[in-house]
Amino acid sequence: MRSKTPKVLHEICGRPMVLWPVHAALEAGAGKVVVVDSPLRALEEVLPAGVELAVQAQPDGTGGAVAAAMAKLGADLEPAGRPGAAVVVLSGDVPLISAESLGGLIEAHRRSGAAVTMASTILEDPSGYGRVVRDAGGAVERVVETKSDGDSTPAEREIREVNTGVFVFDSRALAQALPKLTTENAQGERYLPQVLDVLRADGASVVAHRVEDQRLVLGVNDRLGLAHVRKLAQEAIHERHMLAGVGVVDPATTVIDIDVQIGQDTVIEPFTTIKGNTQIGCDCTVRHSYLVDCVLEDGASVGPFAYVRPGTVLRQGAKAGTFVEIKNSDIGAGAKVPHLSYIGDADIGEGTNLGAATITANYDGRAKHRTTVGKRVRTGVDTTLLAPVTVGDDAYTGAGSVIGEDVPDGALGIARARQQNIDGYAERARKPS
């Protein structure tokens, strides 16, 4: 990846890569999920509650990683009354695997009675993937790595069926096979696919479950692969929303994160980005804007060219218009911030209209302060509200005012220098000094 960030912490549509397979496992009903990390424990802080971390003390390959996870699973592998639990192994850099695909793989494993079932797929360009070698009868014989020429033959590298890195093992068979792995390969690592060789040598059954949708098992090895997978993930997000009744006018120019919620009959116009845990109600319109961790209630509108930042709530029918930035503020039902304004750390009452270039000066150089604007307030253009300050219900402010003191209900607040006209100024200005 050529990055100081660990590969599996690069984000895909608002979620670290490693959490895509984690969420798929949880949605598929996994009884316990263990994520393997290096001793640096870089993944620990992003893991959801209930997901455990196992540390692989030495970078000794995928086999070593699974051995670390098995040690963490411990007694959970032998539930009372069951012969051996199914252990599903996923790769943190194969992010698009779905809960449905995992369910199909697990069901195929149970039907086969095999010691291991691996997910494979056919790729037009299998570069970088381990190849699935089958015997004359079509049964899986082994998986060969292709990282170095010494691990595979030219004929094996021509095979297009690849190991996706997704396996279902019988826990007992896996536990017995892992200690038998060797490092006799070009990388000097314990390869997990070698478990298949060990199991076959012990007379156990090894089967491959071919996944037809290649998108679900695409791995990420560099930033090109990351961009490709992100594009596919984004397409799936758009499809989900559109099938639920959301209008995404031009998906190719729209970015929507995985955890965003959008209601029916809302329209998202081109060149819009919606990030984080943003929640948008029904019948909203978002035009060419950037939204992050905010809430839009039913009928709200944003844009064009607005920036709605975390902690902002636009109540029913509220508007954030052209070149407006709002941060950590509650904009009341039917209230409007039409254009060219910054509203930060504020509570705006229902039915209020903030004139063009209204600014809340919420930071005094040491701390943030809150602004409270009541219901049905009308601010004149170019009003600055020096927080902390309160403007009462039905109040007005004069254009160009700097409001540093509270304005009572129904009052007009004006704070600006009185205009002075100087007669004959133009003629005097033309005379040489």
- Whether 18-217 and 246-413 share one fold: the answer is no
Count of residues in the chain: 433
CA 125, CA 129: separation in Å to the nearest integer? 9
CA 404, CA 390: separation in Å to the nearest integer? 9
**Percent of residues, the chain, with pLDDT higher than 90:** 79
**Matching CATH number, 246-413, of 1.20.120.450, 2.160.10.10, 2.50.20.10, 3.40.50.300:** 2.160.10.10
Residue 216: the pLDDT is 78
Instruction: Give the C-alpha distances (Å, rounded to integers) separating 389 from 336, 347, 360, 408.
Output: 19, 11, 9, 11
Listed residue (136, 160, 158, 157) closest to 145, CA to CA = 157
Under 8 Å CB-to-CB from 99, ≥6 apart: which residues?
A: 24, 25, 27, 28
Q: Where are the domains of the chain?
A: 18-217, 246-413
Q: How many CB atoms lie within 10 A of CB 409?
A: 12
Q: How many CB atoms lie within 10 A of CB 323?
A: 16
pLDDT at 366 over 50: yes
Question: Sorting pLDDT into bands at 50, 70 and 90, what band is 81?
Answer: very low
pTM, two decimals, is 0.90
Q: Is the distance from CB of 245 to CB of 229 less than 8 angstroms? A: no
Q: Is the distance from CB of 391 to CB of 404 less than 8 angstroms? A: no
Enumerate the active-site residues: 339
Under 8 Å CB-to-CB from 231, ≥6 apart: which residues?
A: none
- Among 97-111, 148-162, 309-323, 344-358, the minimum mean pLDDT is found in 148-162
Higher pLDDT, residue 112 or 15: 15
Question: Sorting pLDDT into bands at 50, 70 and 90, what band is 79?
Answer: low
Fold of 18-217: Spore Coat Polysaccharide Biosynthesis Protein SpsA; Chain A (3.90.550)
Q: Is the distance from CB of 138 to CB of 129 less than 8 angstroms? A: no
